[in-house]
Amino acid sequence: MLGSGEIVMFVTAYDRWVNQASAAVRCETIAGNLAAFRRIALDRPDLRRASVALCVLTPLSGDTLLITRRAAGLRSHAGQWALPGGRRDPGESAEDAALRELHEETGLLAETGAVLGLLDDYVTRSGYVITPVVVWGGTPPQELAGAASEVTRIYQIPIVDLDVEPELVSIPESEAPVIRLPLLDRFVHAPTAAIIYQFCQVALHGAEQRVAHFDAPAYLWR
């Protein structure tokens, strides 16, 4: 007869096995949806190129997305919500840049084979064209930590909390709708909100959702 401690260990192991099996199905579904998506790539040599990582983690509590708070001392967009990412190095691919930035900003090391696909390029008001790269991070490590000079804190946000209809706001400075998503006790705006919204619609639901027409609040244009 199994003791109570052994039963708990067995149930936990079984739960992990079920989660891993279902996670493999979800990973395959996301990869299939991204492969079927007709991505829009932009050739804009006048803009600086950057990549961001939409990294999916699979704890037992449910799938999460890695989101960071930028350090307060940064010269641009200090203290804002962000996806791990940054400017590409010369000759660096979108995928390699996203994986490098993911490791530098969160400590999570993912191989090239963890890349599931790309979303539309997104042009920012600050002069970048961002390529979003979807990465399968799997079971999260015990600790995540990045460079303190770039990241104040790393969050694992449940994807179900992000997979919602966005709020669209009008501002006098732009004719385009300003997109925002609720995040904890605040809002996340474009470009991060636009990219997350497209990820949810395309990768999770197989919809062909475009987001290039969504704007950010004027104070974020710099």
Q: What is the CATH number of the domain that holds 158?
A: 3.90.79.10
Q: What's the confidence (pLDDT) of residue 20?
A: 66
What is the residue-wise DSSP string for 118-178? E---EE-TTSEEEEEEEEEEESPPS-----TTTEEEEEEEEHHHHSSPPEEEEETTEEEEE
pTM attached to this predicted model:
0.88
37 Cβ contact partners less than 8 Å away, ≥ 6 residues apart: 117, 119, 202, 208
Q: pLDDT tens digit string along 50-107? A: 999 999 999 988 999 999 987 655 555 556 889 999 999 999 999 999 999 999 999 9
Query: What confidence category does residue 120 fall into, taking pLDDT thresholds of 50, 70 and 90?
Result: very high
Q: Each residue of 130-165: pLDDT tens digit?
A: 999 999 999 887 788 777 667 888 999 999 999 999
In b/e form, how buried is each residue of 14-50, taking b as 16+ CB within 10 angstroms? Answer: eeeeebeeebeebbeebbebbeebeeeeeeeeebebb
Number of domains observed in the structure of the chain: 1
pLDDT range class, residue 4, cuts 50, 70, 90: very low
What per-residue confidence (pLDDT) applies to 158? 96
What is the Cβ-side half-sphere exposure of residue 213, based on CA atoms within 13 angstroms? 7
| Length of the chain counted residue by residue | 222
* Domain extent at residue 44: 4-220
pLDDT tens string 170-196: 999 999 999 999 998 889 999 999 999
Report the C-alpha gap between 83 and 68 in whole angstroms: 6
- Tokens 């900003």 correspond to 105
Confidence at residue 10, expressed as pLDDT on a 0 to 100 scale: 43
Q: Do residues 51 and 84 lie in contact, with contact meaning Cβ atoms separated by under 8 Å? A: no
